[in-house]
Amino acid sequence: MRTLTELVCIGTLALAAGCAHGPAADDSTYQGLGGQGGIKKIVDTFVPLILADARIRDSFRDTDLKNLSMRLEEQFCALSGGPCTYRGKDMKEIHDGLNITNAQFNALAEDLQAAMDRHGVAPAVQNKLVARLAPMQREIVTK
């Protein structure tokens, strides 16, 4: 269901109603992930998969996992068009010095997809989220 504001912004009243930036952001990916509750479930599955993954787990030895989960929830919510603001560190800054390889980046993306599979997220929705994470590869991979 669209909100009244969205309907007004889509209609001819757009400018009069102060919708200079167009209709409200598309949150279909956020909804496809199951909203805030769905994203929390996905992250709660994703983090243990990372810690069990021999390809990447060593990088997380000294990581505050509670903070990591919180930041990932915010980030996935914001990236998928949900009503959140990412309050974590800059991707380049936080991953700098971790010597992350492309293979490790891909391993983590695989674990995320496995977590989404477990929670029944549709492949098209999975692809949308992964596509929004893909540009971060340039900032995260340093080796």
Q: Give the E-state strand segments of the chain in sequence order.
A: none
Half-sphere exposure of 138 (CA within 13 A, CB side): 2
Q: Which is nearer to ligand HEM, 33 or 56 (CB)?
A: 56
- Letters for 86-105 (x = contact with ligand HEM by CB under 6 A, - = none) are --xx----xx--x-x---xx
Q: Which is nearer to ligand HEM, 13 or 131 (CB)?
A: 131
Q: Which of residues 122-141 bind ligand HEM (CB under 6 A)?
A: 133, 136, 140
- The 10 Å Cβ neighbour count of residue 82 is 19
Q: Which is nearer to ligand HEM, 8 or 98 (CB)?
A: 98
75 binds ligand HEM (CB under 6 A): yes
Is 95 marked within a binding site?
yes
- Rounded Cα gap, residues 104 and 3, in angstroms: 41
Q: Which is nearer to ligand HEM, 2 or 89 (CB)?
A: 89
Paired tokens of 32: 């496809």
60 binds ligand HEM (CB under 6 A): yes
Residues 6+ apart with CB under 8 A from 62: none
What's the chain's Rg over C-alpha atoms?
Answer: 17
Binding-site residue ranges for heme: 95
Where is the binding site, in residues? 95
